[in-house]
Amino acid sequence: MAEIKTKPTAADVGEFIDAFADTEQKRLDALQLLQFMQEVTGHTAKVWGSSIIGFGSYHYTSERSRQEGDWPLVGFSPRKAAISLYVYSGAPGQEELLAGLGKFKMGKGCIYIKKLADVNQEVLKQLIETTIVFLEDKYGKAAI
């Protein structure tokens, strides 16, 4: 089985944002998301792998394979095409929350936004909080 490449690193989060965000607006949005997510989660940000800023963690075992590992509870990445928000878990009530989030596109488990101003931050906060509760109930609390 292949080893998971996305793990917490010792990289400096601020330096990562400066190097990875390709526009000034994306850099400013990333810095605002960094502060916002730290306040909402109570976790210090870490760079995971080469492109994700994650907050907290949980240890999972896949229900479809034998794969297991650690993953951030929530996170984001200021990618070139859009800012990827890793805040959706499918927890009860989250579909209804998405209706009030604002302008976004949805991937498998990822929300894509062009800029932070496009989303309702109170709804984003609720998505983050419900995801953390859901994942910690399902997998337990981890210490990273």
For the chain, the structural domain boundaries read: 13-139
Q: Which amino acid is at 8?
A: P
- Global pTM reads 0.91
Position 56 scores a pLDDT of: 95
Position 118 scores a pLDDT of: 97
Listed in sequence order, the residues at least 6 apart from 58 whose beta carbon sits closer than 8 Å to its beta carbon are 70, 71, 73, 135, 136, 139, 140, 141, 142
Position 90 scores a pLDDT of: 92
- Structural fold of domain 13-139: Aspartate Aminotransferase, domain 1 (3.90.1150)
Q: Which three-class secondary structure state does DSSP give residue 88?
A: coil
The per-residue pLDDT string of the chain (144 residues; one tens digit each, 9 = 90 and over) reads 456 778 899 999 999 999 999 999 999 999 999 999 999 999 999 999 999 999 999 988 877 777 788 999 999 999 999 999 999 999 999 999 999 999 999 998 899 999 999 999 999 999 999 999 999 999 887 654
